[in-house]
Structure 1
Amino acid sequence: MQDAAEAARAVDVMLTRAAQAGDIAALGLLLERHRAGMRAVALSILGPGADADDVMQDAALTALRRIGDVRDPGAVGAWLRMIVRNAGRSLLRGTVAAGPVEELHLPSTDGGPEQWLEQSALRDWVWEALEGLSPLLRLPLVLRHFTTGVTSYEQIARACGVPVGTVRSRLSLGRAKLAAALAATADAAHGDTERRVRASRVEARETLAAAESGHFGKLLTERWSPEVALLMGRDRVGGRDLLVRGMDNDVEVGVRQRLVHAVAGRSLAVWEMDIINPADDPEHCPPAVAWLMTLDDTGRVQDLRLAHSRPVQLLDLLPPV
């Protein structure tokens, strides 16, 4: 019995290290080896049905994104079950699935530079595969798995302007197509995602600084597409002039934004902001907003959606004429 357990642990170690080096086949074998235990956890929390299926799919993608964070490859089964447990409990609470910090968010400090290279390569590989999906599938996946504040089905539905059921189906189809895209791009050249994210953070801070100094319109003219559109869900509600009026109005009444998180690929970028309202009007704006930006082939913003932390009416966002 002990020999069998040791042999199983040795296989887990081998597969985990291969997956951390970017081998999708190894990750698939890991998930298959531990699927029964993961599903048992999902069923114990959610019972049979679509929610348990969703959690299993979410867990697989989370494992892909965070396999580099596993500190004890021999205990990868417990790590996978913890992902499912946290995802199931978060779904019951109506919040985003967030694993324990010590298990999921902190990279190991035991490895050398090669481990960081492996994690970077894995991240670049995922983003290269995401770029191969259609925009309708890409945006829900990025919001669900790569942002911090626009992650629930309801929030994604509001941001995309579609029913919750459509979000579920697009996420399900998107995950399936992402798995195929990952296999197809395993041997391809992958872009430098970290470089894009760093550049996007700089761009966000420069954009906010320009707004506070009264130069938001100038920055948009120089850096964004001249045909930029402001969207609410799927509907176009304005363009550059409305964006400038809205930002200038917010700055004038004392509203400020602070960047807290950014993700970026070739075709989209997301800036998540905390909103600081003026002391005399603390409810002027919701406490947070995400800028969801589609980029053209040159990297210029061609459309923008604003996803607020609570539902807002269109008239609340429009500045006075």
Structure 2
Amino acid sequence: MNWNVGEAAHIEDAVLTRAAQAGDVTALGLLLERHRAGMRAVALSVLGPGPDVDDVVQDAAVTALRRVGDVRDPAAVGAWLRMIVRNAARSLLRGSVPVRSIDDLHLPSTDAGPERWLEQHALRDWIWEAVEELSPALRLPLVLRHFSAGVTSYERIADACGVPVGTVRSRLSQGRSKLASALAATADVPHGDTARRTRASRIEARETLAAAEGGHFGALMRERWSPEIRLLRGNDPVGDSGILARGMDGDIEAGVRQRLVHAVAGRSLVVWEMDLLAPADDPGHCPPSVAWLMTLDDAGRPHRLRLLHPRPVRAIQSLVPM
């Protein structure tokens, strides 16, 4: 009898998983509810009691949304969900958060046919359509937490947003909750092509760096960026296009170069994550990396820019004034 009950549960899991892979947000919600107790038990076993348990389970739910197309054995989705929680909890203990670029979502498994490939494209675009429905205050923490490569810790997100860590936790919780409603609301509307938008953003990032190295960063800003561009520290304006141009020109003159390593591109928010390459004769000149967090205006031009370094070095003298 127990075997029959277990078999029925696996069959229902398989049905719900296939429906979720086809874009049914209700099916995904039912899957998460069915396995929430097991997911929480895994988090407790790794982390012990505390607020991190619920955070890890919530993070795993968003990861499941992004990666449900990867499940090859729909009947074993419970074990897959618990594995996500276990990996996230262990990474939290190590001081890092596992992330997978949204760009990777379109990559099919080696045995996937064109139908599966198209489903994963559609799922990725649908997620971004729902993310765009969130308020800016909820959108930025959620995108950084789940779709950036290096701005994933609560502390770094707090620095980016100019709010306390507790506020980041609260906004992430609200964002995840509202994302479920936004997914349901956007299920039947046209979705933008996220892959094409991200490819275009990577090209733009490289063109921006090339213009900077050629001494034309100011001209590029005038051509492509909003005339109202402002540099922010947290939520506070600290400069305009003039200070950005002077800062970039100063870095280039000092021998600093940037190399794009990751890009996230939505309709209203773009993240470029760069390695910073210090001059050979002054390896401590600058931090090892920088993230450009750009809010776009209605014309799709950068309107607000935050520059986030992994740690304060010389008070970020090169681009952010004291």
Rounded Cα–Cα distance in structure 2 between residues aligned with 1:105 and 1:79: 19
Rounded Cα–Cα distance in structure 1 between residues aligned with 2:128 and 2:317: 35
Structure-2 residue corresponding to 1:146: 147
Q: Matched residue of 1:230: which SS?
A: strand
Structure-2 residue corresponding to 1:123: 124
Rounded Cα–Cα distance in structure 1 between residues aligned with 2:118 and 2:199: 17
Alignment of 1:172-321 (within 5 A): 172-312=173-313, 314=315, 316-318=317-319
Rounded Cα–Cα distance in structure 1 between residues aligned with 2:277 and 2:319: 18
Rounded Cα–Cα distance in structure 2 between residues aligned with 1:55 and 1:315: 32
Aligned length: 316
Rounded Cα–Cα distance in structure 2 between residues aligned with 1:154 and 1:316: 21
Q: Is 1:57 the counterpart of 2:69 in the alignment?
A: no
C-alpha contact 2:22 2:119 (8 A) present in aligned 1: yes
C-alpha contact 1:18 1:26 (8 A) present in aligned 2: yes
Structure-2 residue corresponding to 1:46: 47
Ranges in structure 1 where 5+ consecutive residues have no aligned partner: none
1:106/1:93 Cα in 2 relative to 1: closer, same or farther (>3 Å)? Answer: farther
Residues 125-156 of structure 1 deviation map (CA, whole Å, 9 limit, x = unaligned): 11111111111110000000000100000010
TM superposition shift of 1:105: 10
Q: Matched residue of 2:317: which SS?
A: helix
Q: Matched residue of 1:96: which SS?
A: coil
Residues 57-81 of structure 1 deviation map (CA, whole Å, 9 limit, x = unaligned): 1010000011111122222111100
1:40/1:106 Cα in 2 relative to 1: closer, same or farther (>3 Å)? Answer: farther
Alignment of 1:70-89 (within 5 A): 70-89=71-90
TM superposition shift of 1:47: 2.4
Matched to 1:182, the amino acid is: L
**TM-score, normalised with respect to structure 1:** 0.94
C-alpha contact 1:200 1:264 (8 A) present in aligned 2: yes
Rounded Cα–Cα distance in structure 1 between residues aligned with 2:210 and 2:121: 30
TM superposition shift of 1:319: 7.9
TM superposition shift of 1:107: 4.2
Structure-2 residue corresponding to 1:108: 109
Residues 240-288 of structure 1 deviation map (CA, whole Å, 9 limit, x = unaligned): 0111111111111111111111011110100011111111111111111
TM superposition shift of 1:5: 3.0
1:30/1:131 Cα in 2 relative to 1: closer, same or farther (>3 Å)? Answer: same
Rounded Cα–Cα distance in structure 2 between residues aligned with 1:170 and 1:74: 33
Structure-1 residue corresponding to 2:91: 90
C-alpha contact 2:99 2:149 (8 A) present in aligned 1: no
Structure-1 residue corresponding to 2:15: 14
C-alpha contact 2:99 2:147 (8 A) present in aligned 1: no
Q: Matched residue of 1:311: which SS?
A: coil
Rounded Cα–Cα distance in structure 2 between residues aligned with 1:71 and 1:31: 17
Rounded Cα–Cα distance in structure 2 between residues aligned with 1:28 and 1:319: 43
Structure-2 residue corresponding to 1:26: 27
Matched to 2:21, the amino acid is: Q
TM superposition shift of 1:12: 1.9
1:180/1:319 Cα in 2 relative to 1: closer, same or farther (>3 Å)? Answer: closer
**TM-score, normalised with respect to structure 2:** 0.94
- Give the % identical residues: 75
Q: Matched residue of 2:307: which SS?
A: strand
Rounded Cα–Cα distance in structure 2 between residues aligned with 1:62 and 1:230: 31
1:59/1:186 Cα in 2 relative to 1: closer, same or farther (>3 Å)? Answer: same
Rounded Cα–Cα distance in structure 2 between residues aligned with 1:255 and 1:178: 39
Ranges in structure 2 where 5+ consecutive residues have no aligned partner: none
C-alpha contact 1:161 1:233 (8 A) present in aligned 2: yes
